[in-house]
Chains A and B, each alone.
Chain A
Amino acid sequence: MIKYTLIPLLPLIAFVINILFGRNYIRDKAHWVAIPAIVGSLLLAISAFFDVAGGNVININVYDWIVSGDFNVSAGLMIDQLTAIMLLVVTICGTLIFIYSVGYMHGDEGYYRFFAYLCLFIFSMLVLVMGNNFLVMYFGWEAVGLCSYFLIGFWFNKKSAGDAGKKAFIVNRFGDFGFGLGVILIFLTFGTLDFVGVFGQAGSFAGQTINFLGWEVDLVTLICLLLFCGAVGKSAQLPLHVWLPDAMEGPTPVSALIHAATMVTAGVFMVARCNPLFIESPIAMNTVAIVGGVTAIFAATIALVQNDIKRVIAYSTVSQLGYMFLALGVGAFSAGVFHLYTHAFFKALLFLASGSVIHALHNEQDMRNMGGLKKYMPITYAVFIIGTLSITGIFPFAGFFSKDEILWRAFLAGDMGKFLWLLGTIAALLTSFYSWRLIFMTFHGDFRGTSEQEHHLHESPKVITVPLMILAVGAVAAGWVGIPPLFMEHGDKIGEFLAPVLGHPSGHGTHAQEWFVVGISSLVAVLGGIVAYVMYVKKTDIAGKIASAFKPVHALLYNKYYVDELYDTTLIQPVMKASDKVILGFIDKTIIEGIVNGIPNVIGVFSRKLRTIQTGVFGSYGLAMTVGALCIIGYLFFQR
């Protein structure tokens, strides 16, 4: 079993080799180090998957990491059903994106650096999903954030790239602030950070309260909400979603791997991992569901009007992550993880395909300067269509099964569930609209770019299109492991596989109800596409007219509800001003330094005054002595 420690170690070794020797020796052969490493991890992950499927849960402590008094936490790995699925998602998507990057990053002067960071990322992500306690998970959690910082800011000579990387890291720190406190509170409550130990005791702490900062609150709820803070940051949910769209400054393979398929789903993974805690707290569950549902629709509305191809997909990712949280929040943990898994394929596909477009257009990302690309890039166009069919949830593409499972589970979850189902269905309509809008603006109509660009238009090389085609197969077929009983008895293989970790969702409905949910969601998926077709292919002037008719709404959406501006004026500017003017300028420089420099000055003034007495003139000394002596004599005399 110790061989499985190699799963994260292989990419780590590849990172070390590339970062140390890449600049001077390996250079443009960096992929020869990186790809064998990740393929090795992939093979081991497959082996681990079969081990787990055979009933073995692997749980090993490698060594004691931190020991201090009664605090004791080890560096340990665990591979159970949930981890096994995550391992496959990470290593399969990782391998394909590594291969794609060989073509996409070809000729970049930071080629070796790019592969080094990717390897470090894969290492971190694997540690995140394989940790057997909260602190190892936290290690991976922070480390993926670090890699995200490096890769967003990969082209660091652009100010916007550096800013975006920094923003991602700092926004995530806000979430990790809660996550870290949650981890501490877990240890103080359960006396351990091991998943097995904590989850085993979860039930016995249900309903207990704790005095937290003066408020009497439910202990498990508090722990769950603190943990969820971390998930909100990492998975870009409201109100910490602001970093993800900016993260598109990174190279496109990074957007596909980190900001779509793997890292941003870590929050979903974490909540699913902690399901024994969350189910003890209805408040926490509802919070997760509502944050997810609202984010799903919120991000989808922004995506409707964006013109940057990658930003549309980025907001789509935020929205889809919202779906996953919605599922977790209504207790359908395996549905959430199922969507995570299908989403990894179709979203990585969409990103990489958009990368193929951007590559062909020499880094043009504005869809207003695209159009009519389908005749130049048939493969990219085809896989884009497949990805879009999948994300909009058309039968029998992958997205259909997972999205439908989520909507159905929400529908069954009481009154609030109905409301969430409505949110999810509206979001599905919006998703369909913006996804098809993207296709029509990019591939249909006439080319709107420069003739120089048009002259160079070409399909991408095989090293790019082959990974796309493989991912397209995934975007079609990945969902077939989760066919609902409505269509096929025992078709929900993934749900059954995950059941030992995530349990079975509760709630039962009739077949008629289920057909209703399936029907509505399929209907809105088609409807959104038709509307987009009319607006962006048939009568292309409609879009502009609507935008000008509803100018305030359009401006609100186009400017992303002004959330960035809000944070800037209420948080960032006040902190910067306070630190400069109040803290440094007033307290430090004026008050403290005033006193510190003041005391010597007062002494100086005093001593200068005293010095004037020491004139050295004998007469005045004599006078003073005489006066003094007379005073003493007078005092003694009159005292009698």
Chain B
Amino acid sequence: MDNVIMNNLDYPILSWTVLLPVFGSLLLLFMQNARAVRWTALIFTLLTFAISLPLLTQFDKGTHLMQFVEKHEWIPSWGINYIIGIDGISILFVFLTTILSILCVLVSWNSINTRVREFHIAILAMEAAMVGVFVSLDFFLFYLFWEAMLIPMFLLIGVWGGANKLYASIKFFLYTLVGSVLMLVGIVVLYFAGGKTLDILTLSTLSLPMGLQFWLFLAFFAAFAVKVPMFPVHTWLPDAHTEAPTAGSVILAGVLIKMGAYGFLRFSMPMLPDATRLFIPVLMVLSVVAIIYGALVCFAQKDFKRLIAYSSVSHMGFVTLGLFAMNTQGVEGGILQMINHGIITGAMFLMIGMIYERTHTRVISEYGGFAKIVPWYAGLFCILTFASVGLPGTNGFVGEFLIIFGAFKAKQIIGVLSALGIILGAGYMLRLYQDIFFQDAAPDFEKKGKHPVWDLDMREVLTLAPLLLLVFWIGFYPNTFLSYMHASVEHLISRVNYTAYAGQENLIAKYIMEIF
């Protein structure tokens, strides 16, 4: 292990980050009191966040190598090890996960009243699995965490979800499972092709034959494209996001759908660089289609939450577009936009959950005039709206600008078309904002009306504050976050652009002819 930097802190920091939520959920098994359950869950999510903080300060930004690496033999006869570590690509996701987990507990404080203990066990299990996915450096371990995420999420939607929860949860489960199974096949093939190893770093240095890369890429694509979700395999997302309880939507939108894009970065690109280059044109086109298609669908939505869910399709289109532009600005913009989307859409789902607790409706046309009824709520949602449409000064701008820049550099027409998404984004978001907050209030929701609607309370403001802070932090000083990525992104790009088959386009063309 000379190509990684071992963990030199005096405690296994990454293992702690993964295991603390697990301990928390085990502890919850023995609790009955809902209040105690909530506090325990909150304390454990806070602890997890706190214990992972030294990662940010101790991280060496000058290298692309994996850092804080821990390695233990696990099943030596199959070449399976327990290896975890992070680099400039994964570090920010670990923090996104640990922050959002805290907020998920906070936002569920009053809204979850059935099976409180089980709910929080699911949240903590989710956190552990998500962090696990981002830090795994062994394919077996990775797959374990990847599949482990499915179960608590399935339960979160299916048990605590909305009216149509069963359909949504089963759809979510089957959709992702089909992709994951194909990925499993891919992993097994890689295992043999790579000399019976599941070490991700070793596999990332191989030069596999083009034919093998081609099929493996498709297998991994099935898993990752569904998770992102890319057009046209996106239809699980609106159902799952809409029916999930608030915390579930936040986890889904904030972290879970980033797994797909992370998969491309961690596996498809470095392990199958030649196939990646081959598929880039298709992937860029699919991304642009997602941007415009996702935005247009938003115009036709009548459900508050569903509109935001569909807007994720458009925003994730920006993310994948940036990644596949395969230049520094595009990839860094793509990664940053994943964080941004987690912050903005995460916060939006939190806010939708908060207002739903008061109004018990998500139908946009039943709202109106809420700027008068809940002015602070309206103000904060306004910030998120404009972050979502990419106004300079917010995080959305930095991400989208870098992505469009990268896309334009890679392929002009794609850059131009993706910029259309910015116009459409302003269209549907401002329409939503006007319908919810402007004009006269619907009589049902006046302060003293049938359903009294009150403004944000302290707990809710505290829940939103970290995300709003990040909106402006990244908007005005993105370098705090971009600087973590530089080395790793440069390394990744050079890996994809320089390999055994570089420049041998004829060979690739010939290979494609053979397939068909």
Contacts and interface: CB of A to CB of B under 8 A. Distances in A.
A578 B413 contact: no
A213 B328 contact: no
B79 interface: no
Say which size band chain A's interface belongs to: 35 or more
Interface in B338-369: 369
Given A143-B392, A173-B423, A68 B438 contact: no
Interface in B272-299: 293, 296-299
A66 B438 contact: no
Interface in A59-105: 63-71, 75
B434 A23 contact: no
Interface string B243-284: 000000000000000000000000000000000000000000
B404 interface: yes
Nearest to B294: A583
B300 interface: yes
Contacts of B426: 169-170, 173
A631 B472 CA distance: 76
A584 B428 CA distance: 14
Given A142-B391, A157-B438, A68 B423 contact: no
Interface string A186-225: 0110000000000000000000000011000000000000
Contacts of A75: 476
B305 to A, nearest CB: 16
A177 interface: yes
B337 to A, nearest CB: 12
Interface string B399-423: 0011011001100110110011011
Contacts of B438: 153, 156-157, 159, 161-162
B482 A600 contact: no
Nearest to A188: B409
A520 interface: no
B300 A68 contact: no
A181 B416 contact: yes
A138 B393 CA distance: 11
A157 B369 contact: yes
Interface string B358-399: 000000000001011001000100000010000111000110
Interface stretch (A426-434, A537-545, A588-596): A588-596
B329 interface: yes
A66 B482 contact: yes
Given A157-B440, A173-B426, A212 B299 contact: no
A583 B482 contact: no
B327 interface: yes
Given A156-B371, A575-B299, A584-B297, A212 B423 contact: no
A10 B409 CA distance: 38
Contact of B413 (A158, A187, A213, A576): A213
B215 interface: no
A19 interface: yes
Interface string A144-170: 001001000100111101110010011
Interface in B475-489: 476-479, 482-483, 486
B430 interface: yes
A596 B175 contact: yes
Given A584-B300, A592-B232, A600-B174, A139 B392 contact: yes
A13 interface: no
Contact of B171 (A71, A176, A596): A596
Interface string A113-146: 0000000000000000000000100110011001
A184 interface: yes
B439 interface: yes
Given A156-B438, A184-B405, A576-B299, A142 B329 contact: no
B402 A71 contact: yes
Contacts of A620: none
A146 B391 contact: yes
Contact of B439 (A162, A184, A187, A588): A162
A174 interface: yes
B40 interface: no
B420 A177 contact: yes
Interface string B456-500: 000000000000000000001111001100100010000000000
Contacts of B402: 66, 68, 71
A181 B434 contact: no
A603 B442 CA distance: 47
A67 B416 CA distance: 22
Given A65-B479, A156-B437, 14 more contacts: A66-B482, A71-B329, A157-B438, A162-B438, A166-B430, A166-B431, A174-B423, A177-B423, A181-B419, A185-B408, A188-B408, A579-B296, A583-B297, A596-B235
Interface of A: 19, 23, 63-71, 75, 135, 138-139, 142-143, 146, 149, 153, 156-159, 161-163, 166, 169-170, 173-174, 176-177, 180-181, 184-185, 187-188, 212-213, 575-576, 578-580, 583-585, 587-588, 592-593, 596, 600
- A-B pairs with lowest CB-CB distance, top 3: A69-B328, A580-B300, A579-B299
12 contacts: A65-B477, A65-B479, A67-B483, A69-B486, A138-B392, A143-B393, A157-B369, A157-B440, A162-B434, A169-B430, A170-B426, A174-B423
